[in-house]
Structure 1
């Protein structure tokens, strides 16, 4: 039986690509832009690279790392090996999205509450990972919300709301100009030392609502709601969580950015936040570093994924 690699090579001439077979695991393919080299990294695995001198020298140094017995292969080029921190954080972001998508499928989630949506990066990541259910995004600042609304306009299963969420219904002033890190909390001394963006201190008045007050609207039309709560509110996650009241029991899972080193004054530490989530019936299924100090290697924040085991489907 031919391998997937071999079947790919057999298919290429049908789409106008010339193939010169050089032996097991090696071939030269060409089309308009010049020749490319296919190198085998193992059974049914291949890499397609330009055959220029620079590319050839780097490709020769690539390392194919097998990920246990999963059948997956990670290809590490020299630049990735040199940037350990960047590679680890990128891998963590990818693994977190894949894990969340798997949990949404396992628990039958049909509505994701995307709190602190920014311009829609999280929602778009879920779509790329295969989640097709409802997404309800919350973003309070005017300029960022405009970009969020634009991102969601062609997705009928993606709702957007211009407001923040917290423990009480109110209006508040949010710190803006911090790119993806706008917060209702001021920056800590540690945060100011780490991020120069915190030196800018513009604010905008926003509406703050309670989570339990928006749930009926968000879940309307779902015969058997199975919601999941994602929070990324720059130190304000426990306030959002508190605003769910007793209705937090309706969520089958959740995700929160928890801080090891505090970027914002008055924000909870990781231990306090996780203890609150566990007391409400959630258990950790994954922890993924979001940011790390380049000089010390210390993790600053984790994405913490938690699910309600009692809500898991029974076989």
Structure 2
């Protein structure tokens, strides 16, 4: 039986604290060129970056898209957030928050490795290392925000009217949009990840996810392959979608 995404990520959290696939590489010039045209056409004046990891997408926007407006990035994993926070610290237009987005306000408990006290495990035949040299797992609680919670405040602060929402959340897209029913009208376009090869049973089927977005009035605008095996078809795509009701 194939593993589920939830079970695999759960094992990662327990062993290493947290881990996630990264966003598309900043060297993807084709996607950057498309975003530059799209941002100009839609007059994008605020980017909400959900699942920001270490800030790769924000860096892409600054270095390759030419976007200079406000960015609000959200990342729940402590180690990734530390890098994100450092990267954004020199950019006054880049706001970061240690949080996850979901369907309802609340808290998310995470198991996080204590890297400060981590020591590599001893070889099988070596003398067992003292307990203080083993990795320690710390329990952290991460706030859960919603689009309906954050968008009004961001619009008030930035005076934004045309929002670009980037999602890299490993199958949480539906929950995030359900938590933004009132905010969706202000979102001009969305970027998310689609999987044609479901390596994990609980990854949403790409056709079902596209149908879900279309029911919310978001129509595909462009697709970019982001992963593929050698000499094989891509199995993961970055998809840009435009809100047909946004003005």
User: Fold match, TM over 0.5?
Assistant: yes
**Measured at CA, do residues 263 and 246 of structure 1 come closer, stay the same or move farther in structure 2, by a change above 3 Å?**
farther
On the 8 A contact 1:249/1:280 being kept in 2, the answer is: no
RMSD: 2.6
Taking structure 1 as the reference length, what is the TM-score of the superposition? 0.58
How many residue pairs were aligned? 200
Indicate which of 94, 100, 104 corresponds to 1:168.
104
Q: Which runs of 5+ in 2 are unaligned?
A: 1-23, 114-136
On the 8 A contact 1:92/1:290 being kept in 2, the answer is: no
Supply the distance in 2 between the matched residues of 1:274 and 1:92 (Cα, whole angstroms): 26
* Residue 184 of structure 2 corresponds to residue 248 of structure 1: yes
Q: CA deviation at 1:96?
A: 1.4
Indicate which of 157, 172, 180 corresponds to 1:221.
157
On the 8 A contact 2:26/2:57 being kept in 1, the answer is: no
Deviations 1:193-220 (A, max 9, x none): xxxxxxxx99854222211111122222
Deviations 1:285-305 (A, max 9, x none): 1001111133x6132211010
Q: CA deviation at 1:172?
A: 2.4
Deviations 1:171-212 (A, max 9, x none): 2245778xxxxxxxxxxxxxxxxxxxxxxx998542222111
Structure with greater Cα Rg: 1
Indicate which of 222, 227, 237 corresponds to 2:173.
237
Supply the distance in 2 between the matched residues of 1:261 and 1:158 (Cα, whole angstroms): 34
For residue 122 of structure 1, what is the aligned residue in structure 2? Answer: 57
3-state DSSP of counterpart to 2:240: strand
* Residue 85 of structure 2 corresponds to residue 140 of structure 1: no
Which of the pair has the greater relative contact order for Cα pairs under 8 Å at 6+ separation?
A: 2
Q: CA deviation at 1:265?
A: 4.3
Supply the distance in 1 between the matched residues of 2:95 and 2:25 (Cα, whole angstroms): 28
* Residue 227 of structure 2 corresponds to residue 306 of structure 1: no
3-state DSSP of counterpart to 2:207: helix
On the 8 A contact 1:236/1:267 being kept in 2, the answer is: no
**Measured at CA, do residues 174 and 102 of structure 1 come closer, stay the same or move farther in structure 2, by a change above 3 Å?**
farther
Q: CA deviation at 1:108?
A: 0.5
* Residue 224 of structure 2 corresponds to residue 293 of structure 1: no
Supply the distance in 1 between the matched residues of 2:145 and 2:154 (Cα, whole angstroms): 13
